[in-house]
Structure 1
Amino acid sequence: MPANDRSLPHRLTSREFMQELPFRLFISPLAQRLEVHWHEFFELGFVTMGEGKHVINGHSLSARKGMLFLLTPADFHEMIPAPGTTLVHYNLIFSDKLLDKELYRLLFAQYRKHLVCQLSEEDYGAIAAEFERIHREQEQIAALEAGRIVKGAIERLLIELMRRSGLPEGAGPLEQASDQHEIGATIAFLRLHFREPLTLEAAAREAGLSPNYFSTRFRQYTGVTYQHFLQNLRLQFAGSLLQTSTLPITEICFASGFRTLPHFERAFKQRYGVPPSKYRS
């Protein structure tokens, strides 16, 4: 995308980058800004050289050697090398087929602005070795054992990232009662699919519960109704897009999961106290 055209954040597709495989690993040197974009797939990144900024959902973070991060299909980001430097990182993209249900729930059932950690020099080598192993195995992916090795390496990296990122502020351990476990898994699903037209009935099916029971337990679990929770996810995403892109407000409305502009503008003003146009300025 041209450097002077930032109005339309680009959407990277699985068809473009993964094709037959459920993952691909790239080594990406960036000498200039990687413009704001988002993906259909997950991206697990690890900075190996250089420094700069990494802006995730509107939050600017320092990017330097040892930064480990996970981006989901609900995130958008850009990377900006410091002047005169090249920012080099492993870029591991993969589909949700490589995430088992329990790991998926642990990663996403509780809200985090982002999953990012900064490794010490002492810990850098072990994480780098996992990426190097995936890079080697990628060449032999036709072999069954290679696929298993890659899946295991991705899971180890995600668990390390989750541990080092810690629990979200104010959060405690997830409850283990069976229905709370299913609702937690559904919340993880919503955090990644909130832009889609998700009815309460569809979410209840995802949890394997009846709509009425799901609605009651969801409110007990989160403190808000299902529709309020879903709308807040969409509004958070819209607010970040307003602050980090020049995407037209109508496009932001639909990209965030709203179906009509008037509903979006009413909900946004009720949440933030100003209409979207004022929030951007």
Structure 2
Amino acid sequence: MYLREYAIVNMTRNLVEETGGGTHPFHEILYIFEGSASLQWMGRDYLFTSPALFLLPPNTPHLLTKHSGTCLFSYIELDMQNTSEFPAIEQISRWNALQCDKNPEQPELAPIYQVAANLLGSLQPNNPYKAIAADILLLDTQKLLMLVNCFLQVQQPSSDMPSGSRFPRDQAEGQERIHNIMRFMESNYREPLTVNRLAAQAHLEVSYFIRSFHKIAGRTPLQYLHDLRLNTASSLLSSTKMPILEISDAVGFQSIHYFSRLFKQRYGVSPSLWRTKKEQEALIP
């Protein structure tokens, strides 16, 4: 994920309604600090007062129209680079609808709006850490998305849950389940593990399990398993004389050809050549 564009916009007092928006192939976070306005998005008009936070998927036209003397808002455009940190469209629709009908008895919203309000604070000219302001902004953006995702998971209506699936009651429980599965994989990487088996082990619905695992581990369950196996294989190649076929079997690969292909993708050379290079490096005084 990286930041494409970000700014604070102050719609000045004007007798004519001011508008802003458009469409672009990037995800966007829109936060309204002050004023009342309406947002046209996905065939619906969202009428709201500040504070309000809208999430906009790529290629979805949107138009913001102010209805008060002033309207102060910020926006951040993101290239998510195929990550799963941004909520899915169904969740986004639920979240955006909430902005028009916020419940003041929901204290969970306050920290989310606070993080959103402070997002661009790192860009102020007097910031002593302005040299790393963009990096701080990116971390704060990830924090904001984590908070929104957590809120949506906790608030998810039971009717949205697939039959027979299970979801954790809160973020801490979800993280504990994923960490337990990671430890299970580290102990059982030699076995023929599948995503379905791992999700069942975690008592989670498969797609939810994959998204949650990626958020915590930074990679999919299969990528994490491959990393465990390839790291172990490289250790065996450099510290033992085991044949490559035995190493492939020992770390859990069902096919030496698949093992060799993944190994070359990771290290740039075949397992046999990698072992030879390491042996030669060990002889250099």
Sort the TM-score into its range (normalised by shorter chain). Answer: 0.3 to 0.5
> Which structure has the larger Rg?
2
* TM-score w.r.t. length of structure 1: 0.44
